[in-house]
Structure 1
Amino acid sequence: MDAAANTTLLLSSEDVPPVREFNAGGRSPFLLTCDHYGRLIPRGLGDLGLPESELVRHIAWDIGIAGVAEALSKHLDAHLIVQRYSRLIIDCNRPPHVAGSIPRISEATTISGNEGISREAAEMRRAQIFDPYHRRIAEIIDQRARAGLPTVLVSLHSFTPVYAGIARPWHIGTLYHRDTNLPPLLLKLLRAEGDLVVGDNEPYAVSDETDYTIPVHGEARGLMNTGIEIRQDLISDQAGEIAWAERLARILVEVEVVLRPLLLVQPG
Protein backbone atom coordinates (compact mmCIF):
# COMPACT_ATOMS: atom_id res chain seq x y z
CA MET A 1 0.00 0.00 0.00
CA ASP A 2 1.41 3.43 -0.88
CA ALA A 3 1.86 6.22 1.66
CA ALA A 4 -0.98 8.31 0.28
CA ALA A 5 -3.48 5.52 0.81
CA ASN A 6 -2.30 4.27 4.20
CA THR A 7 -4.14 6.38 6.75
CA THR A 8 -2.29 4.82 9.68
CA LEU A 9 0.88 6.69 8.66
CA LEU A 10 -0.36 10.21 9.28
CA LEU A 11 1.02 12.08 12.33
CA SER A 12 2.68 9.32 14.27
CA SER A 13 4.23 9.86 17.69
CA GLU A 14 7.34 11.09 15.89
CA ASP A 15 5.47 13.93 14.18
CA VAL A 16 4.89 17.32 15.80
CA PRO A 17 1.35 18.69 16.33
CA PRO A 18 0.11 20.83 13.42
CA VAL A 19 -0.72 23.88 15.53
CA ARG A 20 1.79 26.15 17.19
CA GLU A 21 1.03 29.34 19.09
CA PHE A 22 3.11 32.37 19.99
CA ASN A 23 2.37 35.04 22.59
CA ALA A 24 -0.90 33.41 23.68
CA GLY A 25 -1.33 36.01 26.40
CA GLY A 26 -1.00 38.95 24.01
CA ARG A 27 -3.40 41.80 24.68
CA SER A 28 -3.51 43.29 21.19
CA PRO A 29 -6.88 43.21 19.40
CA PHE A 30 -5.07 41.69 16.42
CA LEU A 31 -5.23 37.91 16.15
CA LEU A 32 -2.60 36.77 13.67
CA THR A 33 -2.88 33.55 11.69
CA CYS A 34 -0.46 31.88 9.31
CA ASP A 35 -2.01 29.08 7.24
CA HIS A 36 1.15 28.30 5.26
CA TYR A 37 3.73 28.85 8.01
CA GLY A 38 5.51 25.51 7.69
CA ARG A 39 6.53 22.91 5.15
CA LEU A 40 6.67 19.77 7.28
CA ILE A 41 5.52 16.45 5.84
CA PRO A 42 4.34 13.62 8.10
CA ARG A 43 7.07 10.99 8.29
CA GLY A 44 4.77 8.31 6.90
CA LEU A 45 4.25 10.25 3.67
CA GLY A 46 7.94 10.47 2.87
CA ASP A 47 8.67 13.21 0.36
CA LEU A 48 5.40 12.94 -1.60
CA GLY A 49 7.53 11.79 -4.52
CA LEU A 50 9.19 15.20 -4.82
CA PRO A 51 12.84 16.27 -4.74
CA GLU A 52 13.97 18.66 -2.01
CA SER A 53 14.22 21.46 -4.59
CA GLU A 54 10.42 21.34 -4.96
CA LEU A 55 9.74 21.07 -1.22
CA VAL A 56 11.46 24.39 -0.50
CA ARG A 57 9.52 26.27 -3.18
CA HIS A 58 6.37 28.33 -2.77
CA ILE A 59 4.24 25.34 -3.72
CA ALA A 60 5.05 23.86 -0.31
CA TRP A 61 4.75 26.92 1.96
CA ASP A 62 4.77 30.72 2.13
CA ILE A 63 8.45 31.58 2.05
CA GLY A 64 9.55 34.19 4.58
CA ILE A 65 6.21 34.70 6.28
CA ALA A 66 7.08 32.65 9.37
CA GLY A 67 9.78 35.10 10.43
CA VAL A 68 7.57 38.10 9.70
CA ALA A 69 4.67 36.61 11.65
CA GLU A 70 6.74 35.77 14.73
CA ALA A 71 8.38 39.20 14.86
CA LEU A 72 5.07 40.98 14.25
CA SER A 73 3.48 39.04 17.09
CA LYS A 74 6.16 40.36 19.45
CA HIS A 75 5.94 43.94 18.22
CA LEU A 76 2.16 44.10 18.55
CA ASP A 77 1.84 41.89 21.64
CA ALA A 78 -0.52 39.83 19.49
CA HIS A 79 -1.51 36.19 19.68
CA LEU A 80 -0.25 34.24 16.67
CA ILE A 81 -1.62 30.84 15.59
CA VAL A 82 0.26 28.95 12.87
CA GLN A 83 0.00 25.67 10.97
CA ARG A 84 3.24 23.75 10.56
CA TYR A 85 2.57 21.21 7.79
CA SER A 86 3.02 21.82 4.08
CA ARG A 87 0.06 22.93 2.06
CA LEU A 88 0.92 20.02 -0.23
CA ILE A 89 -0.46 17.72 2.48
CA ILE A 90 -3.64 19.76 2.86
CA ASP A 91 -4.09 23.47 2.22
CA CYS A 92 -5.42 25.06 5.39
CA ASN A 93 -6.73 28.08 3.49
CA ARG A 94 -8.89 26.13 1.05
CA PRO A 95 -12.37 24.73 1.65
CA PRO A 96 -11.80 20.97 2.07
CA HIS A 97 -14.22 20.10 -0.74
CA VAL A 98 -12.36 21.99 -3.50
CA ALA A 99 -9.79 20.36 -5.79
CA GLY A 100 -6.96 22.54 -4.49
CA SER A 101 -7.38 21.31 -0.93
CA ILE A 102 -5.03 18.37 -1.57
CA PRO A 103 -3.33 19.33 -4.83
CA ARG A 104 -2.45 16.74 -7.45
CA ILE A 105 -0.69 19.46 -9.46
CA SER A 106 0.70 22.68 -8.02
CA GLU A 107 1.78 25.23 -10.60
CA ALA A 108 3.54 22.91 -13.10
CA THR A 109 4.60 20.29 -10.56
CA THR A 110 2.82 16.95 -10.30
CA ILE A 111 2.49 15.83 -6.67
CA SER A 112 2.76 12.09 -7.17
CA GLY A 113 2.23 11.38 -3.48
CA ASN A 114 -1.24 12.88 -3.75
CA GLU A 115 -2.30 10.98 -6.84
CA GLY A 116 -4.87 8.28 -6.22
CA ILE A 117 -5.42 9.33 -2.62
CA SER A 118 -8.42 7.58 -1.10
CA ARG A 119 -11.34 9.39 0.47
CA GLU A 120 -10.35 7.91 3.84
CA ALA A 121 -6.79 9.18 3.54
CA ALA A 122 -8.00 12.64 2.55
CA GLU A 123 -10.36 12.71 5.51
CA MET A 124 -7.51 11.70 7.81
CA ARG A 125 -5.44 14.65 6.60
CA ARG A 126 -8.35 16.94 7.31
CA ALA A 127 -9.03 15.40 10.73
CA GLN A 128 -5.42 15.53 11.92
CA ILE A 129 -4.12 18.77 10.35
CA PHE A 130 -6.84 21.04 8.96
CA ASP A 131 -9.45 20.59 11.69
CA PRO A 132 -7.18 21.07 14.74
CA TYR A 133 -5.82 24.30 13.27
CA HIS A 134 -9.18 25.84 12.54
CA ARG A 135 -10.71 24.50 15.73
CA ARG A 136 -7.99 26.27 17.69
CA ILE A 137 -8.57 29.57 15.90
CA ALA A 138 -12.29 29.31 16.69
CA GLU A 139 -11.58 28.45 20.32
CA ILE A 140 -9.34 31.47 20.75
CA ILE A 141 -11.88 33.82 19.19
CA ASP A 142 -14.52 32.43 21.56
CA GLN A 143 -12.21 32.84 24.55
CA ARG A 144 -11.44 36.42 23.60
CA ALA A 145 -15.15 37.20 23.25
CA ARG A 146 -15.90 35.76 26.69
CA ALA A 147 -13.09 37.84 28.14
CA GLY A 148 -14.43 41.00 26.49
CA LEU A 149 -11.42 41.32 24.18
CA PRO A 150 -12.11 42.57 20.64
CA THR A 151 -10.60 40.55 17.79
CA VAL A 152 -9.30 41.79 14.46
CA LEU A 153 -8.26 38.87 12.28
CA VAL A 154 -5.12 39.29 10.18
CA SER A 155 -4.14 36.37 7.96
CA LEU A 156 -0.49 36.52 6.87
CA HIS A 157 0.84 35.16 3.57
CA SER A 158 3.60 35.67 1.01
CA PHE A 159 3.60 35.46 -2.79
CA THR A 160 6.07 34.74 -5.56
CA PRO A 161 7.70 37.65 -7.46
CA VAL A 162 6.96 35.92 -10.78
CA TYR A 163 4.01 33.69 -11.61
CA ALA A 164 3.49 31.91 -14.95
CA GLY A 165 6.29 34.01 -16.39
CA ILE A 166 4.68 37.31 -15.41
CA ALA A 167 6.44 39.63 -12.96
CA ARG A 168 4.31 40.91 -10.11
CA PRO A 169 4.94 44.58 -9.30
CA TRP A 170 3.34 44.72 -5.86
CA HIS A 171 5.46 44.77 -2.74
CA ILE A 172 2.46 43.98 -0.57
CA GLY A 173 -1.23 43.40 -1.06
CA THR A 174 -4.34 43.66 1.08
CA LEU A 175 -6.85 40.85 0.55
CA TYR A 176 -10.48 41.08 1.53
CA HIS A 177 -14.07 40.39 0.55
CA ARG A 178 -16.86 41.76 2.75
CA ASP A 179 -15.09 43.88 5.37
CA THR A 180 -15.45 47.58 4.52
CA ASN A 181 -13.60 48.93 7.58
CA LEU A 182 -10.12 47.49 7.93
CA PRO A 183 -8.98 46.82 4.33
CA PRO A 184 -9.58 50.35 2.95
CA LEU A 185 -7.80 51.88 5.92
CA LEU A 186 -4.87 49.50 5.67
CA LEU A 187 -4.64 50.15 1.94
CA LYS A 188 -4.57 53.91 2.54
CA LEU A 189 -1.86 53.70 5.19
CA LEU A 190 0.31 51.36 3.13
CA ARG A 191 0.10 53.65 0.11
CA ALA A 192 0.96 56.62 2.30
CA GLU A 193 4.37 55.02 2.90
CA GLY A 194 5.38 56.40 -0.48
CA ASP A 195 7.86 53.69 -1.44
CA LEU A 196 5.47 50.77 -1.91
CA VAL A 197 3.48 49.37 -4.79
CA VAL A 198 0.39 48.17 -2.93
CA GLY A 199 -2.09 45.65 -4.32
CA ASP A 200 -5.80 46.18 -3.78
CA ASN A 201 -6.98 42.56 -3.71
CA GLU A 202 -3.80 41.71 -5.57
CA PRO A 203 -2.16 39.35 -6.29
CA TYR A 204 -5.20 37.45 -4.99
CA ALA A 205 -8.71 38.26 -3.83
CA VAL A 206 -10.61 36.56 -1.03
CA SER A 207 -13.70 34.52 -1.90
CA ASP A 208 -15.78 31.78 -0.31
CA GLU A 209 -14.67 29.37 -3.03
CA THR A 210 -10.91 29.95 -2.80
CA ASP A 211 -10.35 30.83 0.87
CA TYR A 212 -11.25 29.47 4.28
CA THR A 213 -9.66 31.40 7.16
CA ILE A 214 -11.10 34.84 6.44
CA PRO A 215 -14.58 33.75 5.29
CA VAL A 216 -15.09 31.32 8.19
CA HIS A 217 -13.33 32.98 11.13
CA GLY A 218 -13.60 36.61 10.09
CA GLU A 219 -16.60 37.28 7.91
CA ALA A 220 -18.99 34.66 9.28
CA ARG A 221 -18.38 35.99 12.79
CA GLY A 222 -18.62 39.65 11.92
CA LEU A 223 -15.00 40.40 12.79
CA MET A 224 -12.90 43.02 11.06
CA ASN A 225 -10.37 41.16 8.96
CA THR A 226 -7.81 41.32 6.22
CA GLY A 227 -5.33 39.14 4.45
CA ILE A 228 -1.82 40.47 3.95
CA GLU A 229 0.44 39.19 1.17
CA ILE A 230 4.14 40.18 1.06
CA ARG A 231 6.33 39.50 -1.97
CA GLN A 232 8.79 36.77 -1.12
CA ASP A 233 11.96 38.36 -2.46
CA LEU A 234 11.48 41.14 0.11
CA ILE A 235 11.42 38.69 3.03
CA SER A 236 13.88 36.07 1.79
CA ASP A 237 16.32 36.70 4.65
CA GLN A 238 16.12 37.64 8.31
CA ALA A 239 16.82 41.31 7.68
CA GLY A 240 13.86 41.52 5.32
CA GLU A 241 11.60 39.67 7.71
CA ILE A 242 12.50 42.00 10.57
CA ALA A 243 12.14 45.15 8.47
CA TRP A 244 8.70 44.18 7.22
CA ALA A 245 7.51 43.13 10.66
CA GLU A 246 8.56 46.51 12.03
CA ARG A 247 6.82 48.36 9.21
CA LEU A 248 3.61 46.37 9.55
CA ALA A 249 3.62 46.78 13.32
CA ARG A 250 3.86 50.57 12.99
CA ILE A 251 1.03 50.66 10.45
CA LEU A 252 -1.23 48.29 12.36
CA VAL A 253 -0.84 50.40 15.50
CA GLU A 254 -2.18 53.33 13.44
CA VAL A 255 -5.02 51.10 12.25
CA GLU A 256 -5.91 50.20 15.83
CA VAL A 257 -6.08 53.84 16.87
CA VAL A 258 -8.44 54.74 14.03
CA LEU A 259 -10.67 51.70 14.45
CA ARG A 260 -10.79 51.74 18.26
CA PRO A 261 -14.36 53.13 18.45
CA LEU A 262 -15.61 50.30 16.23
CA LEU A 263 -13.76 47.69 18.29
CA LEU A 264 -15.72 48.72 21.38
CA VAL A 265 -18.97 47.59 19.75
CA GLN A 266 -17.63 44.54 17.94
CA PRO A 267 -19.79 41.39 18.06
CA GLY A 268 -18.59 38.46 20.12
Structure 2
Amino acid sequence: MKSQSSQMLLAADDPPPVQVINPQGRSPFLLLGDHAGNLVPGALQRFGLGAEDMRRHIAWDLGTADLGEALSAALDAMFIRQTYSRLVIDCNRDPDAADAMPAISDGTVIPANGSLSDADRLARVAAIHAPYQSAIGAELARRDVLGRATTLVSLHSFTPVMNGVSRPWHIGVLYSEGDTRFSTKLLDLLREEDDLCVGDNQPYAMDATDFTVPRHAFSSKRRYAEIEIRQDLLSTHMDIRAWATTIANHLTQVDADLVENQV
Protein backbone atom coordinates (compact mmCIF):
# COMPACT_ATOMS: atom_id res chain seq x y z
CA MET A 1 0.00 0.00 0.00
CA LYS A 2 1.32 3.42 -0.93
CA SER A 3 1.99 5.89 1.83
CA GLN A 4 -0.71 8.51 2.11
CA SER A 5 1.66 10.88 3.84
CA SER A 6 4.12 11.05 0.92
CA GLN A 7 1.60 12.07 -1.77
CA MET A 8 -1.86 13.42 -2.36
CA LEU A 9 -4.43 10.77 -1.52
CA LEU A 10 -6.56 11.22 -4.65
CA ALA A 11 -4.87 10.80 -8.01
CA ALA A 12 -5.99 12.46 -11.23
CA ASP A 13 -7.90 9.34 -12.27
CA ASP A 14 -9.77 9.03 -8.95
CA PRO A 15 -13.35 10.37 -8.96
CA PRO A 16 -13.92 13.68 -7.15
CA PRO A 17 -14.95 13.31 -3.50
CA VAL A 18 -18.25 15.18 -3.90
CA GLN A 19 -21.05 14.71 -6.42
CA VAL A 20 -23.76 17.31 -6.89
CA ILE A 21 -26.98 16.12 -8.49
CA ASN A 22 -29.41 18.69 -9.94
CA PRO A 23 -27.38 21.77 -8.97
CA GLN A 24 -30.07 24.07 -10.38
CA GLY A 25 -32.81 22.50 -8.24
CA ARG A 26 -35.39 25.04 -7.06
CA SER A 27 -36.73 23.09 -4.07
CA PRO A 28 -36.31 24.47 -0.54
CA PHE A 29 -34.84 21.06 0.39
CA LEU A 30 -31.13 20.32 0.24
CA LEU A 31 -30.61 16.54 0.19
CA LEU A 32 -27.43 15.10 1.69
CA GLY A 33 -25.76 11.70 1.33
CA ASP A 34 -23.05 11.35 3.98
CA HIS A 35 -22.59 7.63 3.29
CA ALA A 36 -23.82 7.35 -0.32
CA GLY A 37 -20.53 6.10 -1.81
CA ASN A 38 -18.38 3.02 -1.29
CA LEU A 39 -15.34 3.72 -3.45
CA VAL A 40 -11.75 3.53 -2.23
CA PRO A 41 -8.96 5.77 -3.59
CA GLY A 42 -6.54 3.95 -5.85
CA ALA A 43 -3.69 4.73 -3.48
CA LEU A 44 -5.31 2.48 -0.87
CA GLN A 45 -5.57 -0.53 -3.19
CA ARG A 46 -9.03 -1.71 -2.15
CA PHE A 47 -8.33 -1.13 1.49
CA GLY A 48 -7.39 -4.71 2.32
CA LEU A 49 -11.04 -5.76 2.09
CA GLY A 50 -12.68 -7.83 -0.63
CA ALA A 51 -15.44 -6.65 -2.94
CA GLU A 52 -18.08 -8.44 -0.88
CA ASP A 53 -17.17 -6.50 2.27
CA MET A 54 -17.16 -3.24 0.31
CA ARG A 55 -20.76 -3.91 -0.70
CA ARG A 56 -21.86 -4.46 2.93
CA HIS A 57 -23.44 -1.92 5.24
CA ILE A 58 -20.11 -1.33 6.94
CA ALA A 59 -18.83 0.39 3.80
CA TRP A 60 -21.82 2.62 2.97
CA ASP A 61 -25.53 3.22 3.43
CA LEU A 62 -27.02 0.90 0.84
CA GLY A 63 -29.68 2.45 -1.35
CA THR A 64 -29.15 6.07 -0.36
CA ALA A 65 -27.42 7.12 -3.58
CA ASP A 66 -30.34 5.91 -5.71
CA LEU A 67 -32.89 7.20 -3.21
CA GLY A 68 -31.26 10.62 -3.22
CA GLU A 69 -31.33 10.79 -7.01
CA ALA A 70 -34.99 9.71 -7.11
CA LEU A 71 -35.91 12.29 -4.46
CA SER A 72 -33.91 14.94 -6.26
CA ALA A 73 -35.98 14.35 -9.38
CA ALA A 74 -39.30 14.16 -7.50
CA LEU A 75 -38.69 17.39 -5.57
CA ASP A 76 -36.48 19.27 -8.04
CA ALA A 77 -33.94 19.40 -5.21
CA MET A 78 -30.16 19.55 -5.14
CA PHE A 79 -28.52 16.38 -3.81
CA ILE A 80 -24.97 16.62 -2.43
CA ARG A 81 -23.40 13.22 -1.85
CA GLN A 82 -19.96 11.90 -1.06
CA THR A 83 -18.16 9.38 -3.26
CA TYR A 84 -15.89 7.33 -1.01
CA SER A 85 -16.59 4.68 1.59
CA ARG A 86 -17.27 5.60 5.18
CA LEU A 87 -14.43 3.20 6.00
CA VAL A 88 -11.96 5.52 4.27
CA ILE A 89 -13.38 8.40 6.28
CA ASP A 90 -16.86 8.82 7.72
CA CYS A 91 -18.18 12.19 6.59
CA ASN A 92 -20.81 12.14 9.35
CA ARG A 93 -18.19 12.05 12.10
CA ASP A 94 -15.91 14.65 13.56
CA PRO A 95 -12.66 13.97 11.66
CA ASP A 96 -10.80 13.80 14.99
CA ALA A 97 -13.09 11.04 16.30
CA ALA A 98 -11.67 7.52 16.50
CA ASP A 99 -14.58 6.06 14.53
CA ALA A 100 -14.08 8.50 11.66
CA MET A 101 -11.57 5.95 10.34
CA PRO A 102 -12.49 2.77 12.25
CA ALA A 103 -10.04 -0.06 12.77
CA ILE A 104 -13.00 -2.45 13.25
CA SER A 105 -16.55 -2.10 11.93
CA ASP A 106 -19.33 -4.47 13.02
CA GLY A 107 -16.72 -7.10 13.89
CA THR A 108 -14.77 -6.76 10.62
CA VAL A 109 -11.13 -5.68 10.86
CA ILE A 110 -10.25 -2.86 8.46
CA PRO A 111 -6.57 -3.53 7.62
CA ALA A 112 -5.83 -0.11 6.13
CA ASN A 113 -7.02 1.64 9.30
CA GLY A 114 -5.02 -0.33 11.82
CA SER A 115 -2.03 1.95 12.19
CA LEU A 116 -2.77 5.33 10.68
CA SER A 117 -0.29 8.12 11.26
CA ASP A 118 -1.38 11.70 11.88
CA ALA A 119 -0.34 12.49 8.30
CA ASP A 120 -2.45 9.62 6.97
CA ARG A 121 -5.50 10.87 8.80
CA LEU A 122 -4.96 14.46 7.70
CA ALA A 123 -4.65 13.31 4.07
CA ARG A 124 -8.07 11.67 4.21
CA VAL A 125 -9.65 14.68 5.88
CA ALA A 126 -8.19 17.07 3.30
CA ALA A 127 -9.05 14.91 0.30
CA ILE A 128 -12.59 13.75 1.18
CA HIS A 129 -14.14 15.03 4.43
CA ALA A 130 -13.30 18.72 4.09
CA PRO A 131 -14.44 19.09 0.44
CA TYR A 132 -17.75 17.39 1.22
CA GLN A 133 -18.50 19.58 4.22
CA SER A 134 -17.30 22.68 2.36
CA ALA A 135 -19.65 21.95 -0.56
CA ILE A 136 -22.61 21.85 1.83
CA GLY A 137 -21.53 25.03 3.60
CA ALA A 138 -20.96 26.89 0.35
CA GLU A 139 -24.39 25.99 -1.02
CA LEU A 140 -26.12 27.04 2.17
CA ALA A 141 -24.21 30.34 2.19
CA ARG A 142 -25.20 30.94 -1.44
CA ARG A 143 -28.88 30.37 -0.63
CA ASP A 144 -28.70 32.55 2.45
CA VAL A 145 -27.38 35.44 0.37
CA LEU A 146 -30.30 34.96 -2.03
CA GLY A 147 -32.76 34.82 0.84
CA ARG A 148 -33.76 31.23 0.04
CA ALA A 149 -34.97 29.30 3.06
CA THR A 150 -33.46 25.81 3.11
CA THR A 151 -34.35 22.62 4.96
CA LEU A 152 -31.59 20.04 5.24
CA VAL A 153 -32.66 16.43 4.63
CA SER A 154 -29.92 13.93 5.39
CA LEU A 155 -30.52 10.46 3.92
CA HIS A 156 -29.27 7.31 5.65
CA SER A 157 -30.10 3.60 5.75
CA PHE A 158 -29.66 0.94 8.41
CA THR A 159 -29.11 -2.80 8.45
CA PRO A 160 -32.15 -4.94 9.42
CA VAL A 161 -30.15 -6.84 12.06
CA MET A 162 -27.35 -5.46 14.24
CA ASN A 163 -25.45 -7.51 16.82
CA GLY A 164 -28.01 -10.26 16.42
CA VAL A 165 -30.95 -7.98 17.22
CA SER A 166 -33.70 -7.45 14.63
CA ARG A 167 -34.80 -3.89 14.00
CA PRO A 168 -38.55 -3.54 13.41
CA TRP A 169 -38.62 0.03 12.14
CA HIS A 170 -39.20 0.73 8.46
CA ILE A 171 -38.08 4.32 8.74
CA GLY A 172 -36.75 6.55 11.49
CA VAL A 173 -36.53 10.31 11.95
CA LEU A 174 -33.52 11.60 13.87
CA TYR A 175 -33.28 15.01 15.50
CA SER A 176 -31.79 16.67 18.56
CA GLU A 177 -30.92 20.34 19.02
CA GLY A 178 -31.62 23.45 17.00
CA ASP A 179 -34.94 23.96 15.21
CA THR A 180 -36.67 20.58 15.48
CA ARG A 181 -40.10 21.66 14.26
CA PHE A 182 -39.70 20.19 10.80
CA SER A 183 -38.29 16.89 12.12
CA THR A 184 -40.99 16.35 14.72
CA LYS A 185 -43.82 17.28 12.36
CA LEU A 186 -42.42 14.86 9.77
CA LEU A 187 -42.27 12.18 12.44
CA ASP A 188 -45.91 12.78 13.39
CA LEU A 189 -47.04 12.69 9.77
CA LEU A 190 -45.21 9.44 9.04
CA ARG A 191 -46.77 7.86 12.11
CA GLU A 192 -50.19 8.46 10.60
CA GLU A 193 -49.32 5.80 8.00
CA ASP A 194 -50.84 2.57 9.34
CA ASP A 195 -48.45 0.34 7.39
CA LEU A 196 -45.25 2.00 8.64
CA CYS A 197 -43.30 1.27 11.80
CA VAL A 198 -41.66 4.64 12.43
CA GLY A 199 -38.77 5.22 14.81
CA ASP A 200 -38.43 8.33 16.94
CA ASN A 201 -34.64 8.68 17.09
CA GLN A 202 -34.51 4.97 16.25
CA PRO A 203 -32.60 2.86 15.38
CA TYR A 204 -30.08 5.60 16.21
CA ALA A 205 -30.38 8.73 18.29
CA MET A 206 -28.89 11.91 16.93
CA ASP A 207 -26.13 12.48 19.44
CA ALA A 208 -22.54 13.64 19.66
CA THR A 209 -21.47 11.09 17.05
CA ASP A 210 -23.36 12.92 14.28
CA PHE A 211 -21.48 15.68 12.52
CA THR A 212 -23.11 16.96 9.31
CA VAL A 213 -26.56 18.05 10.47
CA PRO A 214 -25.32 19.49 13.78
CA ARG A 215 -22.60 21.43 11.97
CA HIS A 216 -24.88 22.99 9.37
CA ALA A 217 -28.25 23.24 11.14
CA PHE A 218 -28.03 23.56 14.90
CA SER A 219 -26.44 26.94 15.56
CA SER A 220 -28.09 28.55 12.53
CA LYS A 221 -31.53 27.28 13.64
CA ARG A 222 -32.00 25.84 10.16
CA ARG A 223 -34.80 23.33 9.69
CA TYR A 224 -33.67 19.77 9.17
CA ALA A 225 -34.51 16.10 9.32
CA GLU A 226 -32.25 13.07 9.28
CA ILE A 227 -34.04 10.09 7.76
CA GLU A 228 -33.08 6.43 8.22
CA ILE A 229 -34.66 3.68 6.07
CA ARG A 230 -34.13 -0.04 6.59
CA GLN A 231 -31.85 -1.38 3.90
CA ASP A 232 -33.90 -4.42 2.94
CA LEU A 233 -36.67 -2.00 1.97
CA LEU A 234 -34.38 -0.30 -0.55
CA SER A 235 -33.30 -3.43 -2.41
CA THR A 236 -35.03 -2.82 -5.77
CA HIS A 237 -35.61 0.13 -8.07
CA MET A 238 -39.34 -0.25 -7.44
CA ASP A 239 -38.77 -0.03 -3.67
CA ILE A 240 -36.65 3.08 -4.08
CA ARG A 241 -39.19 4.79 -6.34
CA ALA A 242 -41.98 4.03 -3.85
CA TRP A 243 -39.99 5.44 -0.92
CA ALA A 244 -39.02 8.50 -2.95
CA THR A 245 -42.69 9.19 -3.66
CA THR A 246 -43.69 8.68 -0.02
CA ILE A 247 -40.92 10.85 1.38
CA ALA A 248 -41.34 13.58 -1.23
CA ASN A 249 -45.05 13.82 -0.45
CA HIS A 250 -44.45 14.02 3.29
CA LEU A 251 -41.61 16.53 3.04
CA THR A 252 -43.70 18.76 0.80
CA GLN A 253 -46.72 18.56 3.11
CA VAL A 254 -44.69 19.40 6.22
CA ASP A 255 -43.06 22.36 4.46
CA ALA A 256 -46.45 23.65 3.27
CA ASP A 257 -47.95 23.29 6.75
CA LEU A 258 -45.12 25.20 8.39
CA VAL A 259 -45.30 27.96 5.79
CA GLU A 260 -49.08 28.22 6.09
CA ASN A 261 -48.88 28.49 9.86
CA GLN A 262 -45.84 30.78 9.62
CA VAL A 263 -43.96 28.55 12.05
TM-score > 0.5 by shorter chain: yes
CA shift for structure 1 position 91: 0.1
CA RMSD of aligned residues (A): 1.4
Could you say which residue in structure 1 is the equivalent of 2:210? Answer: 211
Matches within 5 A, 1:96-245: 96-178=95-177, 179-207=179-207, 209-245=208-244
**1:10 corresponding residue in structure 2:** 9
- Secondary structure of 1:10's counterpart equals coil
Query: Deviation at 1:115?
Result: 1.1
Aligned residues with identical type, % of pairs: 47
Which SS does the other structure have where 2:95 is aligned?
Answer: coil
Q: Does 1:82 align with 2:88?
A: no
- Per the TM alignment, residue 53 of structure 1 is displaced from its structure 2 partner at its CA by 1.3
Counterpart code for 2:31:
L
In 1, Cα distance between the equivalents of 2:187 and 2:85? 29
Task: Give, as a single letter, the amino acid of the residue that structure 2 aligns with 1:86.
Answer: S
> How much does 1:189 deviate?
0.8
User: Take 2:90 and 2:68, find their aligned partners in 1: how far apart are those partners?
Assistant: 18
Q: CA deviation at 1:5?
A: 4.7
TM-score, with structure 1 as normaliser: 0.95
| 1: CA distance, partners of 2:56 / 2:6 | 26
Letter in 2 for 1:190: L
Structure 2 spans left out of the alignment, 5+ residues: none
Q: Is the CA contact 1:7–1:124 (under 8 Å) kept in the aligned structure 2?
A: no
Cα distance 1:11–1:66, how it changes in 2: closer, same or farther (>3 A)? same
Deviations 1:86-132 (A, max 9, x none): 00000000011111001100010000111111100100100010000
CA contact (8 A) 2:8 2:123 kept: no
Q: CA deviation at 1:3?
A: 3.3
- Report how many aligned residue pairs link the two structures: 262
Deviations, residues 205-233 of structure 1 (Å, cap 9, x unaligned):
112x2011110011122101110000000
Unaligned runs of 5+ in 1: none
- Return structure 1 stretches of 4+ with deviation > 2 angstroms: 2-7
Q: Distance in 2 between matches of 1:184 and 1:101?
A: 28
The one-letter code matched in structure 2 to 1:167 is: S
